Amino acid sequence: MVQDNFAVGDIAANAQKMARHALQQAQQGVQLVVFPELALTGYPPEDLLLRPGFIRDAVEALPVLYEASKQVDIVFGMPWQSGQGLYNSAMWLRDGEQYAIYHKQCLPNYSVFDEVRYFRAGSEAVTVTLNGVRFALAICEDIWCSQQLQADEADCLLVLNASPWHIGKYEERVEVIQQRAREYDCPVLYLNMVGGQDELVFDGESLVCDHTGKIRHRTVAFEPAIMCVDIGRCELAVTDSPPAQPLSQTEAVYRALVLGVKDFVRKNGFEGVVIGLSGGVDSALTLAIAVDALGADNVQAVMMPSMYTADISQSDAKAEADALGVRYDVISIEKPYHAFMDALCDVFAGCEADTTEENIQARCRGVLLMAISNKTGRMVLTTGNKSEMAVGYATLYGDMSGGFAPLKDVSKMLVYELCRYRNSITPVIPERVLTRPPSAELRPDQTDQDSLPDYAVLDKILELSVEQDKSVDEIVASGIDRETVEHVVALVRRNEYKRRQAAPGVRITKRAFGRDRRYPITSAYREF
């Protein structure tokens, strides 16, 4: 069972990778090598599946796998076009040819999934016998749909998956896998993909479960791994190291963010990243994630002080950059800011100062970071968190400028938790960054709570409203005053246009902004 990272669209390279794995395992006496769902094309290929040339390229990549299958049976996922339509399929190769093919029957069409857009649902069970062991094939969502899963005559249920991670996902999977093992009285071999693909992160955490529902083995999370299993009609044995232990929730989130950043930057051909370092908690965490993902040599931090930037912010930013060993530059925005104000003086004549002047500061910083990105070839990472993005506490074309947003689905309170976790490994974030009141530092003595509720309250409202779709009345019933709830819900509604223009970011919850939550920008609907 090969838990590996397959790049979307890199079909020939994915085929070569699978062939190498298969031949290496064949040399060790392995008789069956299994790869995840849509491993040949990467997952999810989305509208690439609508291009005939993409499907043709997948078929044309098969000969290298046919050749490898002369030495060992190979099972892998790929899109398969037949006269009836396009299927999400599991291909079984043996002796240099297609031996069997299974078409996924349950096509997920919720949350981040829209497979009904591309695929036709299969309807036939497929069981393949190897050395007297009868393997029933299934693909990902099939195992969640017991009414369509057909494994009554099987000795083992073999499940190919591309199951993206979010908080609590591993526990959900285990419950379903154990239930199916007991239901069909046979072991379940559950193989998952690993890697980052745009907003999605695949954790791997592949499992072997015996017929009683006992988890016999579990691979490491967020890393490639190979799990070797000896299976007979009446026995099951895992032949490599003891099961990996589950990660704590905080560690799992951090590992997901690191993997998501690493794969997004690398797979899109960037050499490194540049980050605006403010001395605040969000940019400090983003910097640590970037270094852990890409290495210090590939990360550049830029402090861009204004007349409102506190001395401690500058010293803390310098301390963070030094602790992580990254290049650190300081570029004042005072001259560009005043140049903009001079250019606008006639247009602004008679107008009182307001958030316009604050936004100009943020946009000066965005221009500088994008200029550095253009010149160095490094991607700009934005540093905003989910709490800020929800209520629009961010500036379009300012601090929202960039290619990827690592903290886009991370609430403010979780940001602090992740910082303390990272500091438990090595202390890279000064303690006072975690204890001083957060501030955008765009006007004198500014703090975030001048404009927003306390973050603990705000995050609770957002969790109930955004992630659980609770009504205003239901949120008020949880113990939060109505005025605050209505204010926050109105901010979320008003700022949909900003989020639609935001950089993609790593999904870690069941309801992230982007693929999960698709609200109209133009809408007259009101809850209150």
* β-strand pairing of 188-192 with 97-103: unpaired
**Cα–Cα dist 385/413, whole Å:** 10
Helix 482-494 / helix 455-462 crossing angle, nearest 10 deg? 70
pLDDT of residue 246: 85
Q: Over pLDDT 70: what percentage of the chain?
A: 96
**Mean local confidence (pLDDT), 391-401:** 94
- Provide the CATH topology of domain 2-246: Nitrilase/N-carbamoyl-D-aminoacid amidohydrolase (3.60.110)
Answer yes or no: are the C-beta atoms of 373 and 351 closer than 8 Å: no
pLDDT of residue 231: 86
- Give bridge partners of residue 195 from the DSSP assignment: 202
pLDDT band at 453 (very low <50, low <70, confident <90, very high): confident
The residue that leads in pLDDT, 242 or 265, is: 265
Q: Over pLDDT 90: what percentage of the chain?
A: 84
pLDDT of residue 451: 74
pLDDT of residue 486: 94
Catalytic (active site) residue 140: yes
**Mean local confidence (pLDDT), 354-382:** 95
pLDDT band at 34 (very low <50, low <70, confident <90, very high): very high
pLDDT of residue 235: 65
Q: Which of 17, 104, 262, 267 is catalytic?
A: 104
- Give bridge partners of residue 157 from the DSSP assignment: 136, 188
pLDDT band at 503 (very low <50, low <70, confident <90, very high): very high
Of 67, 70, 85, which Cα lies nearest the Cα of 15? Answer: 67
pLDDT band at 441 (very low <50, low <70, confident <90, very high): low
**Cα–Cα dist 65/17, whole Å:** 10
Summarised one tens digit per residue, pLDDT across range 118-168 is 999 999 999 999 998 999 999 999 999 865 566 677 889 999 999 999 999
Does 1 have pLDDT greater than 60?
yes
pLDDT of residue 278: 92
pLDDT of residue 46: 95
Q: What is the mean pLDDT of the chain?
A: 93
pLDDT of residue 149: 62
Does 101 have pLDDT greater than 70?
yes
Q: CA–CA distance from 527 to each of 162, 296, 484, 523 (Å)?
A: 37, 47, 14, 12
| pTM of the predicted structure, to 2 decimals | 0.93
**Mean local confidence (pLDDT), 397-423:** 96
pLDDT band at 232 (very low <50, low <70, confident <90, very high): confident
- Break the chain into its structural domains and give their ranges: 2-246, 251-452
Q: Which of 106, 140, 209, 419 is catalytic?
A: 140
Task: Supply 134's token pair.
Answer: 């009868």
3-state helix, strand, coil in the chain (%, to 5): 40, 20, 40
SS3 for 345? coil
Catalytic (active site) residue 104: yes
Q: Which of 17, 37, 364, 419 is catalytic?
A: 37
Catalytic (active site) residue 267: no
**Mean local confidence (pLDDT), 505-522:** 91
Produce one character per residue of 147-162: b if its CB has 16 or more CB atoms within 10 Å, e if not.
Answer: eebbbeebbbbbbbbb
Does 528 have pLDDT greater than 70?
yes
Does 42 have pLDDT greater than 90?
yes
Superfamily of domain 251-452: HUPs (3.40.50.620)
Of 478, 148, 492, 362, which Cα lies nearest the Cα of 138? Answer: 148
**Mean local confidence (pLDDT), 344-358:** 93
Summarised one tens digit per residue, pLDDT across range 283-342 is 999 999 999 999 999 999 999 999 988 889 999 999 999 999 999 999 999 999 999 999
Please spell the DSSP secondary structure of 261-281, one letter per residue: HHHHHHHTT-S-EEEE--SSH
Summarised one tens digit per residue, pLDDT across range 184-211 is 988 999 999 999 999 999 999 999 999 9
Summarised one tens digit per residue, pLDDT across range 465-474 is 999 999 999 9
pLDDT of residue 241: 63
